A and B are shown apart, each in its own frame.
Chain A
């Protein structure tokens, strides 16, 4: 079965600083999803990556999928308190548009004003 390891487990940054969260898969990634979760709320979709080398950006968040399709990174530029939360990567490991996403344990981000 596929496993996703996220690093770091938690992160505390000063407002305005940049940061990177990594997601490493034990198998080839056919689809990699980034979600954000706040306490008491559901998961909010951020981005989906499918092709090796693909990079997507939304506002100040950029996600990349490496060429070998086994690792993804999420980069936040000039962090703000609104970025605080738990970031989860989820993977479709079957290559068939699987409905079973495997998730990492998440990275907890705190942003200090």
Chain B
């Protein structure tokens, strides 16, 4: 079956622009996670969805970042007024049940470059 799909794979934008990154999880996975990975670093947690609701958004760095999952499947990470420091690979992961009792399945990531 298909894995976690993320689009676009690469996005180059100018400072101040708005960006949307999409994640299509594995079918049937109720939990969805967004992580951000900067060069030379491990992934950092951003937000976790259980179904349609954001169960924990404590990792979002500021109010320019927002994520939705309106139907409990596809999720979109939205970044307003992008800054150069937002440049990173944004990873989406899904799991059948809450992490800690199973593995996370990661997508290949969306590489965001802010010029």
Enumerate chain A interface residues (CB-CB to B < 8 A): 4, 30-31, 33, 35, 40-45, 48, 88, 90, 92, 96-106
A35 CA to B60 CA in the complex, in Å? 23
B72 at the interface (CB under 8 A from A): no
9 example contacts (A-B, Cβ-Cβ < 8 A) are as follows A31-B100, A42-B109, A43-B43, A43-B91, A45-B104, A99-B55, A99-B56, A100-B45, A101-B45
Interface residues in B, total, Cβ within 8 A: 28
* Cβ-defined contact, A42 with B106, below 8 A: yes
* Cβ-defined contact, B98 with A97, below 8 A: yes
A88: chain B residues at CB < 8 Å are: 42-43
Q: Residue A92 contacts which of B91, B100, B108 (CB distance < 8 angstroms)? A: B100
Q: Residue B100 contacts which of A43, A97, A104 (CB distance < 8 angstroms)? A: A97
* Cβ-defined contact, B42 with A104, below 8 A: yes
